[in-house]
Amino acid sequence: MDPLILRRSAATLLDQLTEHLEDPHGLGFMSPAIYDTAWVSMIQKGADGQRTWLFPECFEYLLQTQLEDGSWITYASQIDGILNTAASLLSMKRHFMTPLQISTISQEALSERIDRATNALQRLLHDWNVETTLHVGFEILVPALLGYLAEESITFNFPGHDLLFTVRDQKLARFKAEFLYAPIQTTALHSLEAFIGLIDFDRVLHHKVSGSFMASPSSTAAVLMHASVWDEECEEYIRHVIQHASGKDSGGVPSAFPSTIFEITWTLSTLLKAGFDLDVKSLPAVEKAKTYLYNALIADKGTVGFTPRVCADADDTAKALLVLNLLQSHASPDAMLAAFEAEHHFKTYPYERDPSFSANCNVLLALLHAEQPSEYASQIEKAARFLHKHFRESADLQVQDKWNLSPLYSWMLMAQAIARLHHLCQDKQLLSLEESLKEELSVLLRDMTSSVLRQQNQTGSWGSRNSKEETAYAVLMLTYAVQCEIEDSSYQDIRNVVHDGCAFLRSDTSVGSERLWVEKVTYESEMLSQAYILAALNNAMNLRVDVESEPQSVTTNGVNGHYAEDEKQTNGTNGIHANGHNHKAVTTNGIETNGTEPKATIPEVMEIPEMMTIHEVPILVHQQNGDSHEQNLKSKPIYIDHTTTNRQRGEWTEEQEKILLGPFDYLESLPGKNMRSKFIQAFNTWLNVPPEHLEVVERVITMLHTASLLVDDIEDSSVLRRGQPVAHSIFGVAQTFNSGNYVYFLALREIQKLNSPRAIEIYIDALIQLHRGQGMDVFWRDSLICPTEQEYLDMVANKTGALFGLAIDLLQVGSTVQADFTPLVQQFGIIFQICDDYLNLKSTSYLQKKGLCEDLTEGKFSFPIIHSIRSNPGNRQLINVLKQKSQDEDLKRFAVSYMESTKTFEYIRTFVTSLKAEAMDMIGDLEKQGLGENLGIRKILARMSLEDQ
């Protein structure tokens, strides 16, 4: 094929790829997925008192794609058909039960389709080999779908059922809902539809990016279906995906959109490694893509995901670094190493269970193409050893990767890496690499080459799918292998095999499925398929020229080592050498080299003033075409001279202080029990501290108590406090949260007035205990984990007891009285909390101040609720009510009635009576130690009652 035609085809492909790069929605070419389409079809929306199916075109897509046997297509693996059929069956059942405006199919016809789909899914599940399934997330998605179908009275039995649910339970044992509620993204956000009933969807809304949840239509659909407030931006996102993604308004949607960084980096790196001359000066699409990747890495501090602002991963980060390095716009891999380097390999993303072969290959390639590969010799060796071991432990070298179904994909990447490693070693850039490892990799490449030569089909293709993309992997693997001296491999044999492979690639015959890539279901990308085919043809064209010239000395042509005759001008970007020959100087894009890869002239760096210091960060460097004048800055302090500005911070005003303290002052203005102040005064009868010391302690405890209530009300989603609206309903969550935290530090400033380092230490320890107690309380609630009574009492000792303890410990700092009040103070804290828990469920005064049974609405495991649940663990009625966090008063009264049936309130009354008796004994013991009678303490204990006050 004419090289000019190939280059024009590559340029056209890149123009198509980057056409919508500036679109704020991003871009993506992943093929439509039945699975995600089914989830989107189940979204309902209410308007003017009526509900409608929001995207009926997606349901129509399901109707059009159902197969004769009742199933939906199995793209490339068993799990595809199972997920597609299960999700579509769920959608059909829900449309059958609630037809709404759907009129294109009768109820009778839909019922018949549901029956056929049910039978088809039963067959698919029966034939499914759970043990050999590699798809990421199948162990969560399939059980979730089976559970949702069971709720629709559709159940299944199959041989792999127990194993599937065992794997599911193992996976969920590590899952905590609070991981999703935290600000840090996790991969679970891509599959929120699997956690319906397990999470509070209102608490994941902060993870929304450009209208989607981790660029997943199905995950975003689940949020629209289960969040309490409708999100117009999410609706607009899904509508855009339907109209502009690969389905092109057919109703079909992909499993991920956008996939901007993934599509750009895989396409560009494939073409660049195949020797295409992608000069940024003559190809605006390349310049546009390079700038985009550069900015994405800067924005996300050196790591990226498959599209901007989603969970970063090693795979996409490595590919982005590789593309920039191949374009001579060198980027530091330090952030990638910091994020993903493990002891023996590289993780694709944090908390990954099983390592990915291809991700480690891509990390290795990125390091091998770094500006100074020798700086990363230890990481290069680590990745190479892991990959070699992984290959050798796979039967017949058939590596199974989690992101691509074809073993040939992994072989191609490994051949790329070994060829690049071979060149660097020949060029003496990796002197520290052990000779034994080099030899092992060379033997591996020889074995891989021999195997690939034997595996070619009579049609010239490779693999069982009749796939052009998979065949391109094999052709590329062989052309990369030629760059190394391979014993027992004839160039003529390789050339003949590659010739037949290219004939298949150029043929107009229809091919099989190109769905080789793994998402929730397998998919294909038109862009990627074309890129691999063009790359294979370009590599093969150079290979034929070289083999015909054998055994002359050659230099390599292009980025990756393709051959040309001596002293010719090459048209690639790197001009690297292979096969260990001595070469004369060649010119690559006007840059002269002598047997090494060309180094573009580094522009002069602007002078840096001497007076400034910042943390070291990885800084990207454009080293070609004069695009940038930045330099890699390593381990050097940088100084900025601030003497040129007279800008000074203005005085903090009283008005500003009132703004910050608005939520705090509001809550302070509401009358409370004043229990803690009376508690402090009662203990001071014994401790007798100076009045000014007592005043500071009372002020600190009041400040800390009120501030903690502001935060607690936010975390508990409370509505009332002391009979009035909670502060955050008036001032907003952010202002209220800030006000509470601000007062924590104002209280610390008050502590400093005591002139006691010990007082500061006491205060810090108490705050730590408070947060530990609150953290466990929230964890149990959000995870729906019922603690034991003892675990709850330990939590109370931290949460409630810490504030009581802080007050007395601070008093003792200013007192000459030395006695151990800790047991009594902790007892008071426990009694106070259990009484509060009891009254929350039984008190009429609580109804006026905080609402009916607020703990049930909050979903809190209070002491009475814990006792009732654990009195009859087999009965899940109460825990199910708790899970709903309902405001329905009838439901809450039912829960209280259930607790009566377990004799919980009788138990609480008896337990509190015994605790108060123990406290009275402790008071008596302290009085006998010479402290004197303390009527104030006894009165406070008496006021801690289970009766309405």
Q: Give yes or no for a cis peptide into 551 (omega within 30° of 0).
A: yes
Taking a C-beta distance cutoff of 8 angstroms, is the pair 330, 324 a contact? yes
The DSSP secondary-structure symbol of 606 reads: P
CA 292 to CA 290: how far, in whole Å? 5
> 556 phi and psi, to 5 degrees?
-90, 155
CA distances from 920 to 298, 939, 940 (A): 64, 11, 11
> 44 phi and psi, to 5 degrees?
-110, 155
Which pLDDT score is estimated for 84?
A: 96
Which pLDDT score is estimated for 262?
A: 95
Mean pLDDT by 10 residues, the chain (949 residues): 84 93 92 96 90 95 95 89 96 94 91 97 95 85 96 96 92 83 86 94 93 96 96 96 92 95 96 89 91 91 92 94 93 92 89 84 95 93 92 82 87 93 90 88 91 92 90 94 72 88 84 79 91 94 54 32 33 33 34 33 29 31 35 35 52 88 87 78 89 91 90 82 83 90 92 87 90 90 89 88 88 85 90 90 65 80 92 88 85 90 92 92 86 88 79
526-549 and 468-481 helices cross at what angle (nearest 10)? 40
- HSE toward the beta carbon, residue 143, CA cutoff 13 A: 18
Which pLDDT score is estimated for 16?
A: 93
- Enter the tokens of residue 246: 């690969």
CA 469 to CA 226: how far, in whole Å? 40
Taking a C-beta distance cutoff of 8 angstroms, is the pair 501, 532 a contact? no
- Enter the tokens of residue 706: 């009120």
- DSSP collapsed to 3 states, 317-386: HHHHHHHHHHCCCCCCCHHHHHHHECCCCECCCCCCCCCCHHHHHHHHHHHHCCCCHHHHHHHHHHHHHH
pLDDT digits (tens, 9 = 90+) for 356-391: 899 999 999 999 999 999 999 999 999 999 999 988
- Enter the tokens of residue 480: 């990369």
Which pLDDT score is estimated for 890?
A: 86
- Enter the tokens of residue 369: 């193409």
Residue 854: closest CA among 726, 942, 676, 729: 726
Q: 3-state class of 138 per DSSP?
A: helix
412 sits in which H/E element? helix 407-426
Tell me whether domains 34-244 and 260-593 share a fold.
Answer: yes
Q: What is the CATH number of domain 34-244?
A: 1.50.10.160
> 109 phi and psi, to 5 degrees?
-65, -35
Residue 713: closest CA among 666, 643, 762, 651: 666
Residue ranges per structural domain of the chain: 34-244, 260-593, 656-943
Q: 3-state class of 592 per DSSP?
A: strand
User: Which amino acid belongs to residue 802?
Assistant: A
Taking a C-beta distance cutoff of 8 angstroms, is the pair 611, 603 a contact? no
CA 386 to CA 399: how far, in whole Å? 13
> For all residues of the chain together, what is the average pLDDT?
83
- Enter the tokens of residue 220: 């975003």
587 sits in which H/E element? strand 586-588
CATH topology of domain 260-593: Glycosyltransferase (1.50.10)
Residue 256: closest CA among 211, 212, 321, 293: 212
Q: Work out whether strand 724-725 and strand 586-588 pair parallel, antiparallel, or are unpaired.
A: unpaired
CA 341 to CA 345: how far, in whole Å? 7
- DSSP collapsed to 3 states, 553-583: CEEEECCCCEEEECCCCECCCCCCCCCCCCC
461 sits in which H/E element? none
Longest dimension (CA), the chain: 108
Taking a C-beta distance cutoff of 8 angstroms, is the pair 684, 761 a contact? no
Which pLDDT score is estimated for 640?
A: 35
CA 435 to CA 421: how far, in whole Å? 12
CA 153 to CA 666: how far, in whole Å? 52
755-760-763-765 Cα dihedral, nearest 10 degrees: -150
Long-range contacts of 753-759 (CB under 8 A, 24+ apart): 753/696, 754/693, 754/696, 754/810, 754/813, 754/814, 756/813, 756/814, 758/813, 759/810, 759/813
CA distances from 436 to 104, 169, 825 (A): 68, 43, 68
User: Which amino acid belongs to residue 450?
Assistant: S
CA 138 to CA 866: how far, in whole Å? 34
811-816-822-824 Cα dihedral, nearest 10 degrees: -90
The DSSP secondary-structure symbol of 52 reads: E
* Top-level class of domain 656-943: mainly alpha
